[in-house]
Amino acid sequence: MGTSTNAMLVYGYHLGGDDGGWKVEGAGEYGELPALDWHDPENGEADFQEDAEPRLLAALAGFTETDWRAEGYRDRRRNAKAQLGVGFETHCSGDYPGFLLIAKGITAHRGDVEPIDFAALTAEVQAADADTKLRAALDALGLNPTQQQAQWLLCSYWG
- pLDDT the model gives residue 105: 96
- pLDDT the model gives residue 150: 98
Q: What is the 3-state secondary structure (H, E, C) of the chain?
A: CCCCEEEEEEEEEEEEECCCEECECCCCCCCCCCCECCECCCCCCCCHHHHHHHHHHHHHHCCCCCCCCCCCHHHHHHHHHHHHCCEEEEEEECCCEEEEEEEEEEEECCCCCCCCCHHHHHHHHHHCCHHHHHHHHHHHHCCCECCCCCEEEEEEEEC
**Tens digit of pLDDT at every position of the chain (159 positions):** 567 789 999 999 999 998 889 999 999 999 999 999 999 887 766 789 999 999 999 999 999 999 999 999 999 999 999 999 999 999 998 888 999 999 999 999 988 999 999 999 999 999 999 999 999 999 999 999 999 999 999 999 987
- pLDDT the model gives residue 94: 84
Determine the residue type at 18: D
- pLDDT the model gives residue 4: 77
- pLDDT the model gives residue 45: 67
The Cβ of residue 91 has, within 10 Å, a number of other Cβ atoms equal to 21
pTM recorded for the entire structure = 0.93
- Report phi then psi at 68, rounded to 5: -65, -15
- pLDDT the model gives residue 147: 97
The closest alpha carbon to 14, from 148, 112, 110, 132, belongs to: 148
